[in-house]
Amino acid sequence: MTTRTYPTPPPTGAYEITMFADMKVEAVTELKLGIVHFPKGQRSPPEGRRISAHVEAAYVISGQLRVETDSGVFVLAAGDSLLGNPSEAHSTLALADSSVFFMGLDP
């Protein structure tokens, strides 16, 4: 499997991101908040895995996702949350139309 590093995707493409905030916060370089909508079958990244430049926290609002990481494979459903380490490669596949609240913190 190939590991690739991808920047935070812009709010375009097959899924829609609604940004709540993109601000500077003391003790962190940047804080990003938003909701991402994945249609069923959407994979991020399209192939391989990505490594984020920031700590990611996610809360599944609706739907179901399969998240593959170096630590294992996890199926998340509405009400589940996940904390992502910036050094751990991961990918996400929407098993159903899904909405996820996310927070990214750049140290």
Distance CA 9, CA 31 (A): 15
Q: Pairing state of beta strands 64-69 and 43-44? A: unpaired
Distance of alpha carbon 73 from alpha carbon 101, whole angstroms: 20
Distance CA 62, CA 8 (A): 21
Model confidence over 56-98: pLDDT tens digits? 899 999 999 999 998 899 999 999 999 888 888 999 999 999 9
Confidence of residue 104 (pLDDT cuts 50, 70, 90): confident
Non-local (6+) Cβ contacts of 72 within 8 A are none
Report pLDDT digits (tens) over 14-60. 667 677 666 666 666 777 889 999 999 999 999 999 887 778 899 99
User: What CA–CA distance (Å, rounded) separates 69 from 85?
Assistant: 10
Q: What is the pLDDT of residue 28?
A: 65
Give the pLDDT confidence score for residue 18 in this predicted structure.
72
Q: How far apart are CA 28 and CA 40, in angstroms?
A: 34
> How confident is the model over 7-15, as a mean pLDDT?
53
Q: Is the pLDDT of residue 3 over 80?
A: no
pLDDT of residue 105: 80
